[in-house]
């Protein structure tokens, strides 16, 4: 079981062009965050907390460095959807040197919250924390007693 670690302890080993060097290294590579240069969802989404109070839910999402205009909030089908989309372009031109970089980031989280007064939802972004207050409505009684004639 020592080969099943969440980090790649054999990262410096060269594979010499062989497809299968070591069976245990395959497990190490699987748990390595750099597998095929894929992004880790654990590091690439924003963290959030949901707190329930007597009259409302409070959602706090960490958004350091995110601009207010890059955030979109929707409430539909009993789901609060928080979306962030950012596009950044850097251009530097000096003498014969041209440097251009582009980066696009998109993240989205959905939270199921039922019995919300959607017209009274309030949101504010302050110090990199998005705070959303979702007031509750009185739950409707789905039961209906039918009188028999």
Per-residue pLDDT reduced to its tens digit, 13-48: 445 554 445 555 555 555 554 444 444 444 567 899
CATH number of 41-135: 2.60.40.790
Task: Give the tens place of pLDDT for each residue, 72-107.
Answer: 999 999 999 999 998 888 888 877 777 778 888 888
The answer to whether residue 122 scores a pLDDT higher than 90 is: yes
Burial of 130 (0-12, 13-18, 19+ CB in 10 A): buried
Distance CA 113, CA 134 (A): 9
Instruction: State the pLDDT at residue 29.
Output: 55
User: Among residues 78, 6, 4, which one has the least CA distance to residue 42?
Assistant: 6
At which residue do the structure tokens 């017209």 appear? 119
Radius of gyration of the chain (CA): 24
- Give the C-alpha separation, 95 to 27, whole Å: 49
* Total-model pTM: 0.60
Per-residue confidence (pLDDT) for residue 44, from 0 to 100: 63
Q: Which pLDDT score, from 0 to 100, does residue 31 have?
A: 58
> Where are the domains positioned within the chain?
1-38, 41-135
């Amino acid at each position: 079981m020592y080969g099943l670690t969440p980090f790649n302890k054999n990262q410096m080993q060269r594979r010499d062009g062989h497809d299968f060097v070591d069976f245990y290294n395959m497990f190490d590579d699987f748990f390595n965050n750099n597998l095929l240069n894929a992004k880790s969802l654990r590091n690439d989404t924003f963290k959030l907390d949901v707190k329930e109070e007597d009259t409302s839910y409070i959602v706090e999402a960490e958004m350091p460095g995110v601009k207010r205009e890059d955030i979109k909030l929707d409430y539909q089908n009993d789901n609060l959807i928080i979306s962030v989309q950012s596009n950044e372009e850097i251009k530097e031109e000096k003498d014969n040197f041209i440097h251009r970089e582009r980066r696009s980031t998109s993240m989205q989280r959905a939270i199921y919250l039922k019995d919300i007064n959607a017209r009274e939802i309030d949101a504010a972004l302050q110090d990199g924390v998005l705070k959303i207050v979702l007031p509750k409505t009185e739950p409707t009684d789905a039961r209906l007693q039918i009188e028999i004639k």
